[in-house]
Structure 1
């Protein structure tokens, strides 16, 4: 007889946004906690589970899977050979499928305290610290690659893991708040990856869940990040009034009065919104204030990893470059682009590609077709073909180049360069 597909596992993965690869990664990480060693699972291992070719994983793997999902493996469609799994979902799975609404926003919460054989334990800040390490990995991936669906899925899956952990034991209010903040942070990274990859509908879904989790956490820094990202989302979708309103929520948090660096970021993003809205005076005012406020920030102050990882003079110039490019002030946009690249940290690979592409646009708009083409060819091939925002900007560059300098050597050089790109996977 052939294998019977494990539909219970497939349904759980679909509901929680896991791919075969991301679930394998999560179980491998959980195996470190169980055995002290990284597991050897990959996407094909999970596909074997889903296809029913593996009906009863090894003991340590089963425990790790239970730690990831918060459910006994029997509830996920597994059973030893010779036995069949339960045909009806146990109560804890039904409970998991219900949604807790916070301000009308659904946040998935897996109820595991009543799961058979699951003992409640005391959660501590060490659990939070482990989540924060995973968050740092997500941030690093975003800086290198940006916008990739895999980053969005991993961040989403880790948000679910934080909620599962939240419900797996007792904890102090500080730990509870920190776990909700971690879940909100992961969800906001999923939101940002979706924005950067121009998957705007997915970004809106992540935004609503992130906002709910941030409210439960009470953590101001993550609230700032989410509402600031919301402003960026609305800016990219052509809704400047909504973008300003969302960004104002971030700027009006008490945090911005305590820390000038957060105030500066809020002002810089306001400047980018004014640029998109064709408001030159508002753009200049906001960036002038952002620069002045940044100078008052104390570099030694404690800040979250996402803030430390990206906001500095280079990012301020990147936002200014975007604003002045939108306004049609091409010399100023080019100036900010070059200054951004001069200060950009080496790990900001995605930002370098975006900034370089914008410089090419600004140069072309000033009539420097050959110079602009040489600049555009410096964008790495993987960013040019695999990053949705960069790819779109370069397509627009090519169209503008052909319209401005048809038949020129610059057009020929660009066409030959584009022909060397590999087709995106």
Structure 2
């Protein structure tokens, strides 16, 4: 019996305690069967310690809805051929699958059938799936599969809104869920360098967010739009979009939102070459972050992503764009020291930027060492691959015949793989 480290990592991705995971699993079970789940903290403890190596079917279906992946991905071990399944377990599995199928059919019931009532439990179930999308983005990022799944979940939320009976408050929440999923589809497209798709997702997400009245998701969508135009090197559009996010009431009420808005403004100002604007925005972002205490009810997409490490990452991007390489390197080291363990893609991006900052200061050897230290699977990520291509071009421009340039060229030929 060994600890289930995979499940622990997935829980850490979302910042879930044992009690919170139990609650989310019970919400999923209730949404699929109509009966509240009975998963307890002790149940989750048994999963984590390996005492329960292969949970019952209804638990696994609920876990899949929460995390977006199957039992083996979550570290559970399927019983071997010699394992005898208890007859009661098999009956429970068949009963649960039948109940789940019935719940799915109820959502898409044909015309003339009595519509089902949609309530806050359905919204909670969708929010749990949204948390799973966020976790998948942190692990993989930029993949078309994440974009497609998020867009499909938005459609599911809208189907509930169209076909069910719901209060005005629940309908608004369903529009908010759909907007949240579309914002994740948008970010996956941005991260994967599919900018045309990202712009289409933004149009739909912004419309859904407006119908929801949810200020937090409106902030995320317009802040993403600012990042989209920054990556497309359209700083005027980027500043305008990010200004929409920063002007929302939630950015005035909650300093954590304000801090993210200022930090992203700094990164955009880096493209314009405005040193004073960068310094001013980074300072405001830091002041707001210092005032942002814990205890507020904040969305998972914000708390799972934005912290001091991300602020320094955005400051790094800003100073790198300005050519202020020493300042950029300082922010890179600070970000790397504070990054949470599951943020592997962010760590690779920061290392790629650090390599460029070191090269800008004439440090050929440390720059190449830093760039070569990025694991191959992360070096293949579209954003990281683009950064490393630009690093290689800069290295050739600075020292085309140096041993370091030759080493880098050989390394890329031997180890770099095309993005998946």
What band does the TM-score fall into relative to the shorter chain?
Answer: 0.7 to 0.9
Change (3 A) 1:301 1:70: closer
Residues 107, 159 of structure 2: 8 Å contact kept = yes
Deviation at 1:396, TM superposition (A): 1.2
Deviation at 1:408, TM superposition (A): 2.3
Partner of 1:286: 281
Runs (4+) off by over 3 Å:
29-32, 34-40, 58-66, 68-71, 421-425
Partner of 2:403: 409
Cα distance in 2 for partners of 1:132, 1:63 equals 18
Residues 152, 189 of structure 1: 8 Å contact kept = yes
Partner of 1:349: 344
Partner of 2:124: 129
Change (3 A) 1:168 1:403: same
Change (3 A) 1:69 1:250: farther
Partner of 2:215: 220
Partner of 1:368: 363
Deviation at 1:417, TM superposition (A): 2.5
Aligned pairs (5 A) from 1:121-200: 121-200=116-195
Cα distance in 1 for partners of 2:310, 2:114 equals 47
Residues 333, 362 of structure 1: 8 Å contact kept = yes
1:389 aligns with 2:388: no
Change (3 A) 1:151 1:30: farther
Tell me the secondary structure at the aligned position of residue 298 of structure 1: coil
Pick from 230, 237, 243 the counterpart of residue 242 of structure 1: 237
Q: Which moved more, 1:192-201 or 1:232-241?
A: 232-241
Partner of 1:96: none
Partner of 2:318: 323
Deviation at 1:287, TM superposition (A): 0.6
Aligned pairs (5 A) from 1:95-114: none
Structure 2: gaps (5+ residues): 1-27, 34-56, 65-93
Deviation at 1:407, TM superposition (A): 2.9
Change (3 A) 1:254 1:344: same
1:398 aligns with 2:397: no
1:420 aligns with 2:415: yes
Cα distance in 1 for partners of 2:100, 2:311 equals 47
Tell me the secondary structure at the aligned position of residue 208 of structure 1: helix
Deviation at 1:159, TM superposition (A): 0.7
Change (3 A) 1:357 1:61: farther
Partner of 1:310: 305
Cα distance in 2 for partners of 1:338, 1:122 equals 52
- What is the root-mean-square deviation of aligned Cα atoms in Å? 2.5
Change (3 A) 1:260 1:178: same
Deviation at 1:33, TM superposition (A): 2.3
Deviation at 1:365, TM superposition (A): 1.2
Cα distance in 2 for partners of 1:268, 1:65 equals 47
Deviation at 1:403, TM superposition (A): 2.4
1:265 aligns with 2:260: yes
Q: Deviations over 1:365-420 (max 9, x none)?
A: 111111100000111111111x1111111111112212222232212322332212
Structure 1: gaps (5+ residues): 1-28, 41-57, 72-111
Partner of 1:301: 296
Q: Deviations over 1:337-363 (max 9, x none)?
A: 110001101111111110000000011
Cα distance in 1 for partners of 2:177, 2:220 equals 12
Residues 122, 170 of structure 1: 8 Å contact kept = yes
Residues 32, 99 of structure 2: 8 Å contact kept = no
Residues 29, 58 of structure 2: 8 Å contact kept = no
The structure carrying a bigger helix percent of its residues is 2
Residues 266, 318 of structure 2: 8 Å contact kept = yes
Cα distance in 2 for partners of 1:37, 1:302 equals 27
